Amino acid sequence: MQTIDVENWQAFEEKLREVRESEIAGKKPQLLFRGISDSTWRLATTLERAGQEGVAISKYYRFISSLKPEIETFTGNKWDIAGFPEVEKSLQEYDTWTDHKFPGQTEYSYMVYLRHHGFPSPLLDWTKSPYVAAFFAFRSPVKPQGGRVSVYAYSEMPKGFKVTGSSTPLIRVIGPYVTTHRRHFLQRCDYTVCAGFIDMADQPGEWHFAPHENVFQGGTHAYQDFLWKFNIPWAERTATLKLLDDHNLNAFSLFDSEESLIEALATRGLETAP
């Protein structure tokens, strides 16, 4: 991970332009972005923040499968996901994860739905827009501990260049094409998930979720993916939110709810207040 401290929004855009014009394995990077409202926070999923770091994927899948009938009953939504015994067995095979055999499209849709409704998730949400990421970085009016917010830019190593191994955590970009909550499209979302295969002494090995940051610690993980962390002063908040709002990028355009409308109007009013 490369950390880049900038002093203002203009410097951020200049540094981002340099990253976009760089090359990885002979190609310009395909970037995903994520905004964090405090530069001292680590890159973590909501599942990790719920105290479930390193949980077996099969255990998590069993739990969300058990919740599906009640969710379908009260929401009217339906997901024809794979049965737990089938998934549990498949996750004991190394190539299930590396060959993208799980999650399938329906399981992915269900997991994204849960993520957008606040359920602890192994999915780390990103956006294709650095400006959407910047909005989330600056959204909170609370000054961060370090005085800076962060915008992450992530690029997956091109196919054929990534170095992996049975004990190496692996990040997968699952992709933006899924039928799910409308916020997924309003925010131009994409998702990554990180997992590692753990061998068991007295039972079959299986895949476990792993922290994304484990991939960017160097050493054996140095030839997987690329991450840039831009730290921007929180003092840029008002000017940045005004700039984004001028381009119709605000809480209402990204969430499309009554609460977000009030948030957008309040932020706009406070920006212009004497």
- Model confidence pLDDT, tens digit, residues 152-168: 999 987 665 565 655 67
Q: How confident is the model at residue 124 (pLDDT cuts 50, 70, 90)?
A: very high
The mean pLDDT of 10-20, rounded to a whole number, is 96
Task: Answer whether residue 211 shows pLDDT above 70.
Answer: yes
Structure tokens given for 52: 């479930």
The mean pLDDT of 143-147, rounded to a whole number, is 93
Q: What is the DSSP string of 136-148?
A: HHH---SPPTTSE
CA dihedral of residues 172, 176, 180, 184 (deg, nearest 10): 110
Structure tokens given for 140: 């909170």
pLDDT recorded at residue 8 = 95
Beta bridge partners of 195: 170, 209
Q: How confident is the model at residue 182 (pLDDT cuts 50, 70, 90)?
A: confident
Q: Distance between CA atoms of 262 and 143, rounded to whole angstroms?
A: 21
Domain containing residue 87: 2-272
Q: Distance between CA atoms of 108 and 102, rounded to whole angstroms?
A: 9
CA dihedral of residues 241, 47, 174, 131 (deg, nearest 10): 10
Structurally, the chain folds into a number of domains equal to 1
Going from the C-alpha of 26 to that of each of 19, 23, 29, 91, the distances in angstroms are 14, 5, 9, 34
pLDDT recorded at residue 204 = 77
- Do the bridges between strand 226-233 and strand 124-127 make them parallel or antiparallel, or are there none, so unpaired? unpaired
Structure tokens given for 46: 């909501």
Task: Outline where the chain has alpha helix (H).
Answer: 9-21, 46-49, 57-75, 84-90, 95-98, 105-116, 130-138, 183-186, 237-246, 251-255, 258-272
Task: Answer whether residue 222 shows pLDDT above 60.
Answer: no
| Widest distance between CA atoms in the chain | 69
